[in-house]
Structures are given as structure tokens and as C-alpha cells.
Structure 1
Amino acid sequence: MPMLEIRRHSKRDGAEAVHLSQAGIELARWAGTLMGPFEVVAASVAPRTRETAIAMGFAVSVELPTLKNVSEFMVESQRAAHDVGEPFTRLARLVNGRGAVHDYSHATAAQWRHLMAPLGPGDAGLVIGHGGHLECGLIALFPEADHDSWGAMFDYMEGARIHYDSSAGRFHDVEIVRM
């Protein structure tokens, strides 16, 4: 069965920085030695995601377009920071509810399923994305999971490995990857 690895982009200098820092390049380079090969590598339109993939040693083959309701998603998802419980569980309440976070999360999951469609048994794909976004997409794929057990939100270069059942058209067996 094909596998998809989702990872948060590498380090940058401050939340407003568009590009990776030197430390981020070195971290991505090191992480890239531990993974691959990939038949498809996808990154968002943000330069830091493409830079992460390249520093890891992988050419980006698919640019994931920014989803139309990203602004509403960002505003609504901030509510999870003030809720009670573990981080993934707080987000799950929004992802499994109604509104922009639900819609955005399920659209992200649909992008990932689309990437997997052409892959065969033993193939792998890589998505480099953003903190908060990746977690929401993962929750959309696994709404009934024990989200408390997933721990903290993804730090730089962290993410998950998920396997895809091509015949059923769904993901299964999530493995959280920490650095």
C-alpha cells in the first residue's frame, strides 16, 4: 500500500520570516537523509515549504494551491488555543464541528487523497506544509482517533506517516513522527 508522509516545514527566523534560516536548512538536510524516496513531493505556495523539500534533497513535483477559505480557517482555528484539553483534541472539536476549520481540514484531506490516487503499492508521497494546517488535515482523516495520544502540535520537521488503501480510497494506520 502507498504511504504519505506529511511534515511541517523547517525552521525560520521568526514567525514573519518567509524563508528558512540556516539552522532550518541544516535540519531539513538532516531529516532528508532519514526518508525517501518519494514518487510525488508536494509543497504549499509558501517559499519555506519548497525550500524545505529542496534542502531535504527532494524536488517539488506538485504545488498545493492555497485553499479559498484559509483566512476564515486561521481566525476560527485560534479558538482552539483557548479551549481545554490536549492540543489535537482541542482542534478535533473544531474539525469535527461546522464552519471554516471543518471545511478547510476536509479540503486538505481531499488534496492528500488526490495525491495518492496514482501511486501504487510500495510507493510514497511527501507533503511539506504548515503547523496547524497539517494537524487539522490529519484529524479530518482520522476523526475517531485517540487524539490525546498524538501529543503536542507539530514542531519544525515533525508530522506523520499514513498509509493509503487504494482500493478503499482511504487512509489508515497513522504514525506520529517527532524529531
Structure 2
Amino acid sequence: MQWLEVRRHAPTKKGAARGRGSHLSAHGVALARAVGVGLGPFAHVVTSASPRAIETAVALGWAVDDTVVLPSGYVAGEIEHHDQWAWPRPYVRYAELIANGGGLAAVAAEHRRIWTEVVRSVPDGNGALIVSHGGSIEPTLVSCLPDADHSLWGKAFGHLDGVRLDFEDGRFTRAHLHRAPSTRA
């Protein structure tokens, strides 16, 4: 068995500081350090190509082995930016949207392909880490475990929230959701 940890990036700078120096806020770096203490070990670390994802992996305490371009989970006409925060049962809603077979289903399938490729790259008994983005992790998680009771998974992922997925016999078998401490500075 292998396992895959997927985490949303840490909090970023806002206002005039955004885009200058590090993309993460000082609070984001401190929070990632705290969360990183309990993570791992990882045989392979992959992030989105976004600087905030790369910096999050480093702040978590892990060197980045590779970056990938990940398509956005926000698909015009299906799900707009941060819609998931207004849904009372976001994972149930994502399952409904994916079942429609539109653009979100294609995005989730592409992420699932990448997640599968990453976890297959590690030896048996080892894990991998992916740092990604809210709005993309949630539909992919539903896509990886389409028969799970999505109503039990709670709210959409906040900063540094994540999931550990067990991977056995070429497929994802269980999800263990993890919530980060409060991200308010």
C-alpha cells in the first residue's frame, strides 16, 4: 500500500504586500511550519507550479521534487471562484456536478490522473505529498472516491487543510481528512 497526502497551500499576503517577495504571509509560513511537524515522511513531493504552492511545501519542511501545471477547478458556467463556500454540503454538490460530465468532470479526471501518477511513483509502504489549491482538491477527492458518503466530509478545504488517501491495488481506497488550525492571523 502507498498513500498520498494532498494539502491546500498556506495563507498568502494581501493588499500592497501581495506579489512582493514571498507569496505566503508570515502567518502562512508559521502555520505551515506547525502543520508540517506532523506530516510525512514523503518519498516524493509535487506541487502546482504556483509559487504559493511551492513555498508551502518548503514551509511544511519538504523539498519539492517536481511541479505540475494543474487546471483550475473553477469552470465558467459550472462553478465560479469560491462558490464552494456557499454550499452546505460541498462534496455532495461536487459529486452532482461531476456526474453531469462537463468541464469540472474533465478537470477532476486530470487531477486524479496526476494524483495517481504521483502516488504510483513511490515504493510500497511510502507516501507522497501534493500541494494544490482549494476548488481543485475537493472535486478531485470526490472523483477518487465516487462511492464514499460525501455528506460526511464537511466543509470545503481552508488553507493547509488536506486529505490522506490510501492507495491499494491501483486505486484510492480511503480518505482521512485533516483540518489545519485556524488560519486567522
Sort the Cα spacing of 1:82 and 1:132 in 2 relative to 1 into closer, same or farther, 3 A: closer
Sort the Cα spacing of 1:63 and 1:82 in 2 relative to 1 into closer, same or farther, 3 A: closer
- Whether 2:16 is the aligned partner of 1:13: answer no
- Whether 2:30 is the aligned partner of 1:29: answer no
Counterpart Cα distance in 2 of 1:154 and 1:92? 16
Amino acid at match of 2:100: G
Counterpart Cα distance in 1 of 2:77 and 2:101? 14
**1:88 offset after TM fit, Å?**
1.2
- Whether 2:110 is the aligned partner of 1:119: answer no
Which one of 67, 79, 83 corresponds to residue 77 of structure 1? 79
TM-score (norm 2): 0.86
**1:37 offset after TM fit, Å?**
1.4
Determine helix, strand or coil for the equivalent of 2:121. coil
- Whether 2:100 is the aligned partner of 1:97: answer yes
Partner of 2:174: 173
Show CA shifts across 1:89-136 (max 9, x none).
Answer: 111111222111000001100100011222222101001000010011
Which one of 47, 53, 75 corresponds to residue 49 of structure 1? 53
Determine helix, strand or coil for the equivalent of 1:76. coil
Partner of 1:3: 3
TM-score (norm 1): 0.89
Gaps of 5+ in 1: none
Name the structure with the higher helix share.
1
The root-mean-square deviation of aligned C-alpha atoms, in Å, is 2.3
Counterpart Cα distance in 2 of 1:108 and 1:77? 16
Gaps of 5+ in 2: 181-185
C-alpha contact (below 8 Å) 2:145/2:174 kept by paired residues? no
Q: Percent identity?
A: 31
Sort the Cα spacing of 1:94 and 1:47 in 2 relative to 1 into closer, same or farther, 3 A: same
C-alpha contact (below 8 Å) 2:45/2:62 kept by paired residues? yes
Amino acid at match of 2:178: V
Counterpart Cα distance in 2 of 1:116 and 1:30? 24
